[in-house]
Structure 1
Amino acid sequence: MNKIKIAVQKAGRLNEDSLQLLKECGISIDNGKDQLKASASNFPMEVLYLRNGDIPQYLRDGVVDIAIIGENVLIEKGDDIIIAERLGFSKCRVSIAVPKGVKYKGIKDLDGMRIATSYPNTVKAYFKKFDVTPDIHLINGSVEIAPSIGLADAICDIVSSGSTLFKNNLKEVEKMLTSEAVLAVSPNISEENQQILNKLLFRIQSVLKGRKSKYVLMNAPNDKVESIIKILPGMRSPTVVPLAEAGWSSIHTVVDKDSFWEVVDQLKENGAEGLLVVPIEKMVL
């Protein structure tokens, strides 16, 4: 039986989030301590734990069929590789930072400056748009200390909360791009494994839709139901069920997580009472 090979990061937050996603897709991975390869017990899948920066080449060579990887790594090392799904976690940005004491007026200030980074291709492509040519110093590892030891005037690195920059007396001055985890696909994936990927994508999309939505139940007087329904289109339309108390109904619907509080305010203004909000594990359409 064919197995699809998926690469995930060896360690760290992306590793944890990737395995959690597979778990929510109903896939059980037989992990052992310090294993570099593991199989799923209930899905035709083999997991390879690899260095993040090596994954694009493994995809390109067809060593793995798919990978959960930071989009920033693909932009740097694999911009020819197809993204099958954006996964919505491990969000960050790739930014330029300078020491806090440096007066920064604009991107032209960086012309000729020494920039330490693990993302040389990304830096070159970004600055080319502005006709600015920095002096790029390639560093694999922690780049934040480069200005303090005199190795560089600025850095380019991934930023999440900004706490690492703060600890190293740096300030973010240019946001070059935003990134999140994505599901990337090898250009050499076989037809058989493409079919397995389609099944996996269906599960992933169901999980992601569930994460982005809330199931909302509320009570309302019958004369308010019509105005509430206009606020709540739901998946097709809201479910309306008569209550035992005459003149009242229960309304059930799905609300997008990002607009939830705005919708709740409108519901209250239109007569909804007793709102109950339930998380959705999966949403299969």
Structure 2
Amino acid sequence: HSSDTSPSRRRLLFTFHAPTLSLSPQPTYNPSSVERESRVRSPPIMSVVQSFFQQCPSASVNTLSSSSHSSRSVKFSVYCCSLASPLTLVNGNTDKKESERNEIRLGLPSKGRMATDTLDLLKDCQLSVRQVNPRQYVAEIPQLSNLEVWFQRPKDIVRKLVSGDLDLGIVGLDTVSEFGQGNEDLILVHDALEFGDCRLSLAIPKYGIFENINSLKELAQMPQWTVEKPLRVATGFTFLAPKFMRENGLKHVTFSTADGALEAAPAMGIADAIVDLVSSGTTLRENDLKEIEGGVILESQAVLVASRKSLIQRKGVLDTTHEILERLEAHLRAVGQFTVTANMRGSSAEEVAERILSQPSLSGLQGPTISPVFCERNGRVAADYYAIVICVPKKALYKSVQQLRAVGHSSSFTYIS
């Protein structure tokens, strides 16, 4: 590994000695040595190297070429973004004591709308992610000590949670369900972060033999589907889609794997139906496809997921998770809420409270806050007015103002969102 303790992208040079493989880091990085190469004296070793470096979310191992003088030699280069940490491979296994990490790792989506919305949410929760170099895959949140942020593909976040390389992650529920495959070590810490809303749904053409098919039950009862001619479904969800079909009695189904532009598959004749994520449904309609009753496999949005083992066994993970959860919950509850303040004349705080609580829209979250307003009158301090502070949902704002007027407020209102 790089001798520098700050994360940086470096070319790593290693020396391997079979059967015990010891990794010897070079103390300095010399750009002119990029063409230098390491040789592995046994072809199976390459797979061991690749397997080992998969522990680092940013590692990449590239085979350059085979040695001309020996079929048992392989040239490779390794690039890794990591902290300096000596590791040892013994017969293909890492020394757990040497590789034990102390930092807590949070996985976040690296690209796309999900990545942007995740960073925006954390910023709104006063958890700004600081990334020194946008090309790096590691960052930090200054408000959370001992926490590393790792930017990964959503499916890799789930895989690394399962493997123990990450402790926490923010991804879509569809991704957790597809790539977690019911793993009991994955815990949904917060199941509704209120962005990334979509649904995993089965869609069929509007035309041809499907023109009058409007439900999953009708699709399953179509006589066309046999062992010789099964229903062909294109999808990128190779775990959830077959599971859904089995559970709903569709026996004669085959699946083809695809990651993008699934809507074109039926028109191209390579599939009869698709299973894909749907947001507004506009893309389906523009490609003459339709959703059917009972065809929604999963309602999804962004979730905070954690490794059960990390929560139980790793020091500090539970406390950090609690703080993140508390901030998320506070922000999400506050969104769409307004604080309304007004002054009201009254003989006492209790008398004002009785008038306020007589109106159902003025109860607030736990009740109104009422405090005296002191002013000087005729040489003495008096409290003839009381300040009223209530928290109301945005949709009930105008109704609450009307009810405050009805019970006798005597000042202009202040709204704070």
State the TM bucket, normalised to the shorter chain.
0.7 to 0.9
- The counterpart of 2:280, out of the listed 161, 164, 167, is 161
Bigger mean CA deviation after superposition, 117-126 or 221-230 = 221-230
Aligned residue pairs total 276
Q: Does 1:214 align with 2:323?
A: no
Q: Deviations over 1:182-237 (max 9, x none)?
A: 10001331132222222222222222222253323356676886354242332332
**TM-score if structure 1 supplies the norm length?**
0.84
Alignment match, 2:391: 254
- The counterpart of 1:178, out of the listed 299, 304, 317, is 299
Alignment match, 2:126: 26
Structure 1 contact 62–187 (Cα < 8 Å) conserved: no
Deviation at 1:39, TM superposition (A): 2.3
Distance 2:345 2:114 in 1: 47
Deviation at 1:21, TM superposition (A): 2.1
Q: Does 1:99 align with 2:223?
A: no
| Structure 1 residues 128 and 266: CA distance shift in structure 2, 3 A | farther
Bigger mean CA deviation after superposition, 3-12 or 130-139 = 130-139
The within-5 A match list for 1:99-118 is 99-101=205-207, 102-111=211-220, 112=225, 113-118=231-236
- The counterpart of 2:415, out of the listed 253, 277, 280, is 277
Deviation at 1:181, TM superposition (A): 0.6
| Structure 1 residues 104 and 278: CA distance shift in structure 2, 3 A | farther
Structure 1 contact 228–267 (Cα < 8 Å) conserved: no
Q: Unaligned stretches of 5+ in structure 2?
A: 1-100, 226-230, 376-382
Larger Rg: 2
- The counterpart of 2:136, out of the listed 11, 14, 35, is 35
Distance 2:102 2:324 in 1: 14
Distance 1:125 1:269 in 2: 53
Distance 2:169 2:120 in 1: 14
Identify the structure with bigger relative contact order (alpha carbons < 8 Å, sequence gap 6+). Answer: 1
Alignment match, 2:169: 67
Q: Unaligned stretches of 5+ in structure 1?
A: 280-285
Deviation at 1:275, TM superposition (A): 4.9
SS of the residue corresponding to residue 148 of structure 1 reads: helix
Bigger mean CA deviation after superposition, 64-73 or 80-89 = 80-89
Distance 1:196 1:114 in 2: 46
Alignment match, 2:249: 131
SS of the residue corresponding to residue 145 of structure 1 reads: helix
Distance 2:219 2:206 in 1: 15
Distance 2:332 2:147 in 1: 20
Deviation at 1:74, TM superposition (A): 1.1
SS of the residue corresponding to residue 328 of structure 2 reads: helix
SS of the residue corresponding to residue 266 of structure 2 reads: coil
| Structure 1 residues 263 and 227: CA distance shift in structure 2, 3 A | farther
**TM-score if structure 2 supplies the norm length?**
0.59
Q: Does 1:85 align with 2:190?
A: yes
